[in-house]
Amino acid sequence: MTKSKEPDKNAGRLDIDTLGPAKINSPLLGYTAHGPIEVTPWDSFTDDDSRVLLDVNVKSLTKMAAEGCHPDSFEEAGARRAIYFDPSKVRAAILTAGGLCPGLNDVIRALVMTLYYRYGVRNILGVKYGYQGLAPEFGHELIPLDADFVSNIHEFGGTVLGSSRGGVPAEQLVDSLERLNINILFCIGGDGTLKGAHAIAQEARLRGLKLAVVGVPKTIDNDISLVARSFGFETAVAIASTVIRSAHTEAVGAPYGVGLVKLMGRDSGFIAATASLAQSDANYVLIPEIDFALEGPGGLLAHLEKRLDSRGHAVIVVAEGAGQKYFENAGDSKDASGNILHKDIGTFLAETIKDYFKGKNKELNLKYIDPSYIIRSAPANASDQVYCSFLGQKAVHAAMAGKTDLVIGQWNDHFVHIPIALATQTRKKIDPNGVLWNSVLEGTGQPTFTDKRIA
């Protein structure tokens, strides 16, 4: 293995692996979907020494300069003038794994279209049902992909390749890839999928195989570290905002009405927080990053009672991973991808609120809405569609240049290459002291819920 050129001597953790020197002139130098052209503008290509700063804060940069440190920086994504793979010899595979998310088909389409038209790759295979599709015991057939097959798939939600959770040993997956003569693998998925992609890249490296593994980060929760925004998130926020508005309509339409909405957010409350800002009808937002008390004079129940007495209605938005301290054995169970299976905070809150007001002998009209699967299976909106196209295109450029074990992300308004191991090291979470959460507090007016008395 060789390393991409790295000008920042202290930024080794951001190095990107390559399969070897790129010695083949890119077909983008003289080819488009409509036939040969004289030359693609030289400035439209990206060099390996084009970097994007990790931290653009002037104060931080000045401090590092004073200490003689070089700032960390990402390798910028984009088409290279020289590529590693001969397009006529490439045999590429694409898989999607994990839960559904708006934009999956858009990414698949972008990958195929870029491979097919921009690089002239004709051997593209779709792997059915995630990593299962590479395991012989499941018997899933591969799907030949071309421009005609993917031409209209972006109009539909879900994934035409299917998806699954659960790991297959990396050794077995690489065995299959080797038998199939696959030399480029695109893995579209979240934390578990990307960890699997990293394991495949590591195993291929140990065997000396020339296999490029490139990830496209898919998490509707927007919780992948060092990725400013994941595809499908904006669509999720848009639909969730409509649901919050509906909950508000239900709440004001009945005496002592409460609209309770549970949104996705296993460990991070980005959808709940952002949708509540977009649709400013939420009065309470509960997320995994912020602890809250139900009981006591300063708890949620007492505050909700005061609000209903004074205003007559309320809307509560809760992320699925919030309030797990109220369940016994919380965190003991995991899904096939290794994610913690959280207890249902939505139904728990609904029943707890009903019991509280029943004990007070007070009227309550509570409507509980859980739109999770409706949101997950929706087609991407226009903004996410454009974003998915960029991600797919940049992923192909990286793979054709022989780069591997990386994920495509956006950072400081630039598309960059991020080592998979670094992107999956931690989960991105809302900063309790940051701008987003403070904006939620200002928008809702909610207090910090404790079991102590509040004014």
Structure tokens at 82: 């020289």
Cβ atoms of residues 197 and 248 within 8 Å: no
β-strand partners of 25: 82
Cβ atoms of residues 323 and 299 within 8 Å: no
The rounded distance, in Å, linking the Cα atoms of 53 and 61 is 10
Listed residue (340, 228, 345, 328) closest to 285, CA to CA: 345
The rounded distance, in Å, linking the Cα atoms of 48 and 446 is 48
Assess whether 221 carries a catalytic annotation. Answer: yes
Pick the catalytic residue from 48, 191, 221, 281: 221
The rounded distance, in Å, linking the Cα atoms of 384 and 230 is 9
The rounded distance, in Å, linking the Cα atoms of 418 and 223 is 15
First to last CA, the chain: 63
Q: Which amino acid, one-letter code, is at 26?
A: S
The rounded distance, in Å, linking the Cα atoms of 272 and 343 is 17
By annotation, the residues acting in catalysis are: 221
